Amino acid sequence: MSEPLVFERSVPGRRGYRLPPRDVPALDLADAIPQEHLRPSPPPLPEVAEFDVVRRYTRLSQLNFSVDTHFYPLGSCTMKYNPKLNDRVAALPGFARVHPFQPAEHVQGLLTLLYELEQLLCAITGMAVFTLQPAAGAQGELSGLKMIAAYHRRRRRKRSTILIPDSAHGTNPASAALSGFRVVQLKSSASGFIDLAELKSKLDDDVAALMLTNPNTLGLFERDIKVIAALLHERDALVYMDGANMNALLGIARPGDMGADILQLNLHKTFSTPHGGGGPGAGPVGVAEALEDFLPVPRVRKKGKRFVWDSRGRSTIGRVHGFYGNVGVLVRAYTYIRTLGAEGLARASEAAIINANYLKTKLEQAYPVAFDQPCMHEFVASATSLKASSVTASDVAKRLLDYGFYAPTVYFPLIVEEALMIEPTETESRETLDEFIQAMLRIAEEAKTNPDLVRRAPQRMPVARLDEVKAAREPNLRWPVSSALLGVS
């Protein structure tokens, strides 16, 4: 599987393309370009044929996993297959080629789409109004928290605490702290939910809001959500709902009806758009009417039959993104919603839930599920059952690569030991799920019969185990990439 560097394939004089003989006089470069900008010698480019280049880069593109090539059950990340139709629409010149400085009269089509997308998201979530500006879930959180601060500031009172359950996504406490709030953690109950007694004991007049995810990161639906929201509202504290897991609720339940005052959606998860590697996303934020004044500007408004940008707003938290966010992602989400329709969206969520429960039921013998009850779109299993053979969640994840599956999220949420967080999404077929189940069960078996094999995995990948900390902290993305990295580690 080792892939030599393109430089190692270089043969002096080999060319991909030759120009016809020159029919004009030669020019001395020194006469055209100032001496100090000239190289002393030609750059050491590889000398290769066209197909050397094409094959090399095609092969390199296949050394990675992606939703287009593999099942990708990365819990919480909702790595689902994205219909290519959405890309086609986003690439239409009327969307892809518009310039952000074009006057509104020139981009009425795009503004219509943005306006309608806001309306659709309101209908899906039960929130009163949306901003499409934030570029990611975490930036949506940050924008929501700024609005929470503005809400209390307008009421001329100091509220500095945000309550966050211990099952929360790491971005929640990070966003709260970044916004200047004090984070107070709520310990989950033994069954994996918000513990009402714990909530009541920490709910005082310094609480600005509760941030919670529903379904939570254990894949469980917070059944007491209305009681929880009422407790917060009694003290005029707000309910922030992290809506990254909205793909479990589409057409079934609406956060606005549950009492959420602020909600961010991850369009790049629930509403299509391939994501990963930090690629473009969109984290629109919906709010209840009482918070509308604080929304970021500009907003798209309808004036008669035309659409205009409106930058007014005395109480706005301001702009959170250049222009109007990642418009390509917004176009994909709009296309996705319009293709599926209300019924299709509900069926997508149902399929996501059924798929997760199917996997959970088939795997829980070998990998016990921490908070065992019917799950929503994902569940958290544990590799503690393999401890006797010194095989860890990380080993299981690596061995899955050998079997041609991307790994689940591991070691998150933190409250589950040796966590394997599995999210199949609605787009996978029964056959794929069965193949995944077989691989997982086989790994559990291997852990007993040949633990070394699992601990040394992956063996069929171009690289074995990397130093993950070093790879993340000091990524080496430049040529010359060490041959060790591309060969065998």
Ligand X SMILES: *Cc1c(COP(=O)(O)O)cnc(C)c1O
- Rule CB under 6 A: which residues touch ligand X? 76, 136-138, 169, 171, 213, 217, 242, 244-245, 266, 281, 283
- CB-based contact 458:402 (threshold 8 Å): yes
Give the nearest distance from C-beta 329 to ligand X in angstroms. 10
Q: Which amino acid is at 380?
A: V
Query: Which CB, 138 or 337, lies closer to ligand X?
Result: 138
* Residue recorded with tokens 């009421």: 155
Report the residue number whose CB is nearest to ligand X.
137
DSSP code of residue 61: H
* Residue recorded with tokens 């966590």: 419
Give the nearest distance from C-beta 276 to ligand X in angstroms. 10
Q: Which of 76, 100, 111 is nearest to 299 (CA)?
A: 111
Query: Which CB, 281 or 296, lies closer to ligand X?
Result: 281
DSSP code of residue 212: E
End-to-end Cα distance, the chain: 12
Residue 377 and residue 356: Cα distance in Å, rounded?
A: 6
- CB-based contact 381:367 (threshold 8 Å): yes
Residue 365 and residue 386: Cα distance in Å, rounded?
A: 12
Give the nearest distance from C-beta 244 to ligand X in angstroms. 3
Query: Which CB, 107 or 176, lies closer to ligand X?
Result: 176
Query: Which CB, 199 or 267, lies closer to ligand X?
Result: 267
Burial of residue 308 (CB within 10 Å: 0-12, 13-18, 19+) is middle
Residue 413 and residue 216: Cα distance in Å, rounded?
A: 10
Measured CA angle at 448 (ends 443, 454), to 5 deg: 45
Helix (H, G, I), strand (E, B) or coil at 85: helix
Give the nearest distance from C-beta 7 to ligand X in angstroms. 36
CA 367 to chain centroid, in Å, comes to: 26
Helix (H, G, I), strand (E, B) or coil at 417: coil
Give the nearest distance from C-beta 429 to ligand X in angstroms. 24
Query: Which CB, 259 or 281, lies closer to ligand X?
Result: 281
Query: Which CB, 215 or 298, lies closer to ligand X?
Result: 215
Query: Which CB, 80 or 399, lies closer to ligand X?
Result: 80
Query: Which CB, 136 or 239, lies closer to ligand X?
Result: 136
Residue 152 and residue 148: Cα distance in Å, rounded?
A: 7
Give the nearest distance from C-beta 285 to ligand X in angstroms. 12
Query: Which CB, 136 or 260, lies closer to ligand X?
Result: 136
Q: Which amino acid is at 431?
A: E
Give the nearest distance from C-beta 217 to ligand X in angstroms. 6
Q: Which amino acid is at 225?
A: I
Residue 449 and residue 455: Cα distance in Å, rounded?
A: 12
Give the nearest distance from C-beta 245 to ligand X in angstroms. 6
Helices 430-449 and 327-363: crossing angle in degrees, nearest 10, is 50
Residue 233 and residue 182: Cα distance in Å, rounded?
A: 19
Query: Which CB, 274 or 281, lies closer to ligand X?
Result: 281
Give the nearest distance from C-beta 180 to ligand X in angstroms. 19
Give the nearest distance from C-beta 444 to ligand X in angstroms. 27
